Structure 1
Amino acid sequence: MATAPTVPVDARTLEVPGARLHYEVRGSGPLVVLVGAPMDAVAFAPLADLLAADHTVLTTDPRGINRSPVDDPDADSTPAMRADDLSRLIAHLDAGPAVVLGSSGGAVTALALVEAHPEQVRTVVAHEPPLDELLDDREQVRARTEDLIAAYLAGDVLGAWRKFFGLAGIELPDSVVEHMFGGERDPQAVADERFWFAHEMLPSVTWQPDISALGSAPTRVVVGIGKDSAGQSCDRTSRALAAALGIEPTIFPGDHTGFADDPGTFAVRLREVLREH
């Protein structure tokens, strides 16, 4: 049986202040950047392969995650720091301005990049950014976030994940949570998870966007929401961001991880959205 064709990947490392970034480049053409937090380049690989047919596609492991080690593992990873990392990657490739698709914490990174370097971003697609500070009940949400982080750091991994999914509005049976996060696990996945809980989650969800800067930037801002994310926390935060910017949210297939669950369908929709402008 013939195997599916693979897209050549050029994997490299870029030294940035406080970290060494693993990044990957595919294809040729206008630059598209796919970024997550804490999701790494692996999660975006299938979508990147599809977009590489007519784009140069950049993916990266964010600082402190997987193949992007940091000099100080006890320091926080803030959206501003990760935005600076992206800015340096885009400048290093000398291929901008870019289309930047950020998902979850990566969407926060992408918005911070637009605020700091709007000239580097032609279009930003912020897919379900967890901007909790835009919510009316932000104080309660922040308290619950701090509680689940404390539970994780105290060693209650399963309890922390249950609290996380409860706060996110994602219903998962205990058996599924135990299967995903209990028992023997990959050491790198555990290290990435700990970094996220300890140093990346809170700085990301408490980041406050500069609505005036985003609204006045030459960058086209798209706020994406998965059609199956209705009622979830990131559906609420995304709608709050879109309302603050005075734009309608753009619906994508799937849920919070639709780009990874069904990259083919997601790529078709992304191309439609990019053609609309």
Structure 2
Amino acid sequence: MAAQGLSYEKIGGRTMRESVLEVPGARLRYAVRGEGPLLLLVAGGHHGVDANEPLACHLADRYTVLTYDRRGLSGSTTDAPATTLTTHADDVSRLLSHLTPEPALVYGTSLGALISLELTVRHPGQVAAVVAHEPPVTQLLSEPGRALALGQLLTVEETFRAEGAAPAMRRFAADIDIDPNDCEPDVPPRAPGPDHLRNAEVLLTHDMPAIRSHVLDVAALKDSPARVVPAAGENSGHIWPHACAAMLADELGTPLQTFPGGHNGYVFHPCGTAERIRTVFGS
């Protein structure tokens, strides 16, 4: 493994160091900023470094914050797209190994939460504590709930094949009730970036089927030395990813932690999310 192309940029008065790490089958763009314990942010959906930037800036006063693009997204290229979440977890493991010999703190949301949990199962020595915000662990849902969740995901994939990425992502956002108006007052509207549709195609082609087929080893998670914190949005109690988080908390025998906003609270409530992360990891 080798890091290439290190660059520096001032973000919010702090220096962001950006580079690329070569891993088997891919080159991962990652960014590091701040000082303190290493905190990895694993974004959900088709998001990566850019979507996590406001949250990372709010956390850089206390942590060394690591963000990255999954293989195939934005600045991360791949010759072998991930077809399972274990590939993503192993990518993250190699990224952490490159940067620190110590166990890291991890915050993941949605697909990123499922990757974070798989990292904790497969590489437990690399994780000190993990906050898993609304991970789509569909295996834990009741049969009607699981049928609903998998049906929604399949419908989104079918919409993609029939109509394209943009209509499919609109359907997906409606299913999990993404509300851009549920945001902090100073958060500007998010305009789709130049990689929006290409990243969405990666999610819809490879990652969404991987979510549907993934089975989390909950027993191994219970035995992990890492502290595992299931979390969910204050305003997302009506959607199935929130139910997944609640069921995971029950399985682990730990309280469900609530975070500001809905399923994408880390994007629309970066300040409040950062404060909750500090509280949870500091407790």
- Alignment-derived partner of residue 186 in structure 2: none
CA distance in 1 between counterparts of 2:131 and 2:212 reads 18
Tell me which of 124, 128, 142 is aligned to 1:122: 128
Q: Does 1:225 align with 2:222?
A: no
Distance 1:265 1:105, change over 3 A: same
CA distance in 2 between counterparts of 1:27 and 1:14 reads 20
CA distance in 1 between counterparts of 2:212 and 2:110 reads 10
Shift of 1:166: 4.7
Aligned counterparts, 1:239-254, within 5 A: 239-254=246-261
Q: Does 1:139 align with 2:139?
A: no
CA distance in 2 between counterparts of 1:271 and 1:171 reads 25
- Alignment-derived partner of residue 69 in structure 1: 77
Which structure dedicates a bigger proportion of its chain to strand? Answer: 2
In structure 2, list runs of 5 or more residues that go unmatched: 1-10, 181-189
CA distance in 2 between counterparts of 1:165 and 1:70 reads 26
RMSD: 2.5
Distance 1:211 1:6, change over 3 A: same
In the TM superposition, what whole-angstrom CA distance separates every residue of 1:130-164 from its partner, at most 9, and x where no partner exists? 12222112234323322320221222545534542
Distance 1:258 1:162, change over 3 A: closer
Q: Does 1:213 align with 2:217?
A: no
Which deviates more from structure 2 when the two are superposed, residues 244-253 or residues 215-224? 244-253
Whether contact under 8 Å (1:131, 1:206) holds in the other structure is no
In the TM superposition, what whole-angstrom CA distance separates every residue of 1:167-189 from its partner, at most 9, and x where no partner exists? 435579xxxxxxx99xxx75521
Moved over 3 A (4+): 156-159, 169-172
Aligned length: 264
Shift of 1:204: 2.1
Shift of 1:220: 0.2
In the TM superposition, what whole-angstrom CA distance separates every residue of 1:22-56 from its partner, at most 9, and x where no partner exists? 00011122110001133101111111112111211
Aligned counterparts, 1:152-167, within 5 A: 152-157=160-165, 159-167=167-175
Q: Does 1:271 align with 2:274?
A: no
Shift of 1:96: 2.5
Tell me which of 30, 35, 51 is aligned to 1:43: 51
Whether contact under 8 Å (2:56, 2:65) holds in the other structure is yes
Say which SS state the counterpart of residue 195 (structure 2) adopts.
helix
Percent of paired sites with the same residue: 36
- Alignment-derived partner of residue 78 in structure 1: 84
Distance 1:189 1:132, change over 3 A: same
- Alignment-derived partner of residue 14 in structure 1: 21
CA distance in 2 between counterparts of 1:188 and 1:162 reads 16
Distance 1:41 1:187, change over 3 A: closer
Whether contact under 8 Å (1:153, 1:198) holds in the other structure is no
The alignment's TM-score, normalised by the length of structure 2, stands at 0.85
Shift of 1:63: 0.9
The alignment's TM-score, normalised by the length of structure 1, stands at 0.87
In structure 1, list runs of 5 or more residues that go unmatched: 173-179
CA distance in 2 between counterparts of 1:153 and 1:191 reads 14
- Alignment-derived partner of residue 111 in structure 2: 105
Shift of 1:246: 1.9
CA distance in 2 between counterparts of 1:186 and 1:236 reads 31
Distance 1:260 1:147, change over 3 A: closer
| Matching residue's letter, 2:268 | D
CA distance in 2 between counterparts of 1:263 and 1:186 reads 19
Whether contact under 8 Å (1:51, 1:267) holds in the other structure is yes
